[in-house]
Structure 1
Amino acid sequence: MRYARPRPVLSTGGTVRRALLGAAAILVLSGAAGAQEPTLTDGKVKLAVLTDMSSVYADSTGRGSAIAAEMAVKDFGGSLGGKPIEVVSADHQNKPDIGSNVARQWFDRDGVDVILDVPTSSVALAVQQIAKEKGRILIVSGGGTSDLTGPACSPTGVHWTYDTYALSHVSGSAVVKQGLDTWSFVTADYAFGHALERDAIAEVKRSGGKVLSTVRAPFATADFSSFLLQAQGSGSKVIAFANAGGDTVNAIKQAHEFGIVQGGQKLLALLVNIDDVHSLGLSVAQGLFLTTAFYWDRNDETRAFATRFKAQYGLMPTMHQAGVYSAVGHYLKAVKAAGTDDAKTVMAKMRELPVDDMFARGGRIREDGRMVHDMYLMQVKTPAESKGEWDLYRQVAVVKGDDAFRPMSEGNCPLVKAN
């Protein structure tokens, strides 16, 4: 933090003395705060980004998440305890066993203090259990299942960017209110897809809608034709895709080719990232409603971050990557403020400090590990509305964090005290 140099006081005697003493006190305190370094248990701080480097989530997380972490470290100052902050990364290949093995090695052998990102909910759930056993911190940005702050919650786990409840709650209620009250689902057949479908169905019903059909599609399938035909045959007003990454892109492309939208049904992607929409193109994706935790063009801060990020990655940041940047910055602030990298102490400080950065304003970490912040309902622009390659969304609504995320009382987290 920079402090302005005190301006000299043009006075005499005691006034000058008091002014100089006051200025000196400010400088001493600020200098001490800036110079005081935390006590590090192993003499270093090491961050690890566990992510998808090679499969369907590689563009929306992957190398971009590692770049975001490195940017956050650089913006923080690059060091703690007089030692450079290290950032390492690995590809979990969307496999819980591989992710678990990497996490154990990082914690047991490599001195990793915190693991970040972890797309694919099944991997995130497995790694959260390991981090809990080891007493180390896990901050999930890419993984989505709301079970991370529900039955599987952990005292050292934080769910940072989004979850299946928030996506479903914001998207489902808004669309049903528009009269689109009958739904069918094409769902990815693994933990994330199941959780997203479950939460969306609950929200549709709570909002007065009906679910006419559900169908499960294998992860990373190339052919959605049979699943789309089943959903189309239901006669629902909305076909919702409870999947992500390449699965979402392929499903929307094939639905467009089949003329489903032209036939009168609406498509809704419960999780879609800006790289997905960019890949689809506005002619295919126009009119699509989606919920996100971050959009690069919201204000000057987000635009400045996105410009720097794109210069390194070539794509605009997704909410997952922006979430990693935010989480790293908050973690490092907490270590410095706590004066130690002890996980329990740092977690307490992370909960104490508000999250105030380009990603979130007034965010907070609850007892169940949920980082609560505003979410945004967006609509994909038409080609005529767009003014540039990445001018893809228009903001429809801002949903406050307390309204977007599941109440703690409904999550069944064992850490939450019953009232």
Structure 2
Amino acid sequence: MHGIKPITCFFTITAAVLACLPATAAQAETGNVVLWNKLGSATEIATSEIGPGFQQLHYLIGDWDQAQLAPGVFGDGLYVNHDTCEGWCNDGANFFVTDLSQTGLSPARGSIEFWFEFKYGADTFNHAYFFDTRSKVMNHYPDQNWQTDGVLTAGWNGWDYGSFGKRFFFCMGKYDRATCIYTPDFSAAPGGELAFSNGTLMHFGFVWDKSGIDNTADTARIYVNGEVKGATQAAWNLPNAIDPFLFLGATPNCCDWDHHYNAVKGITDNLVIRDYANTDFTNRFEENPGLSCEATLPKLTAKITQKSGLKNARNWTINLNNQSHCLAESAQIDKVELSQSFGARCVPIITTPSAFPLVLGDIPDHSQGTGNVGINFSNCPNNARFSATITFSSNGGAVSGSKTFNNQFR
């Protein structure tokens, strides 16, 4: 929707070995996508296509006062508004956090990539983050760092120090001895190669491999629009693990420097994290990061959405929701079990279907299938309560699960 076109490399970094490295390496590493979040809706933010979803935090009231959904590259993206003039002490700010410990991401190697549309210009005086890691999840922790082991952080240093500054950065390693790499000084300043203004769109890739990226001496790189714009060969300190909680943009804090350390102001779209040092970003124009549904199973959840009918012929409507990008084939409700938790003992009778499974059929990606279960509660008192466990499956049993709902009544 932005008329994106690949760009041609024309800028040479400080050393010849970094000059316009091709986006595709001859011996590219391989591995897995451990987190993929489209960031296109509240549901997509909370439920990643692959890996854990993002939790929204807010210092005051839990609304979207300083964040919203806005047009991105693939539909909508997540706009977070933490800049120098707004959110003093982050008291009006929103924070979005996920648990990297659920991904198995190693501090030794990996990559993080996303599209970003800036909503201010490179002439802004700011030091701001695309993402940062912390050891705790809190709405607000005044003057506390909460970094205890490994860090992954990237952003834009928008300060002009005279002889250096105005550049993108990426830091990794042990939190108290982290190694940082940068794009060239003033590359992200007005007039620089990576200068931006309101509406500028860039694709970023932050890549690390302590043993060497693609069998080179490089241990970390910054990619912009598929091209290497910063690299290091430093043997950075390897922590035991990455501090597990990844925040998009700024982290909650309150101190005298809060107004300088906020999120880069703009729209993040299609966040992809891999467990290897990806160097091929040619598919960045596709929303799907190269995943095949032959190797990726759908994710199903169950929900009781409606109850109707008389006591002797109650009808419960049950939905199976497919929260993935892959088809859930031959989805079915395998069993509904009622366990009484309150009231005089009774035995409700499931009348329909006459036998399980209750077949719902194929459920397309991000869609739902619906089934109806008939229950006769005529021998149960009105105050009887039950827990209801719904067991379900799809794809020939390759996908299976259950959901228990407590305090259910007729």
Structure number, greater radius of gyration: 2
TM-score (norm: length of structure 1): 0.24
| TM-score computed with the length of structure 2 as normaliser | 0.25
Q: Which has the higher strand share?
A: 2
More helix by percentage: 1
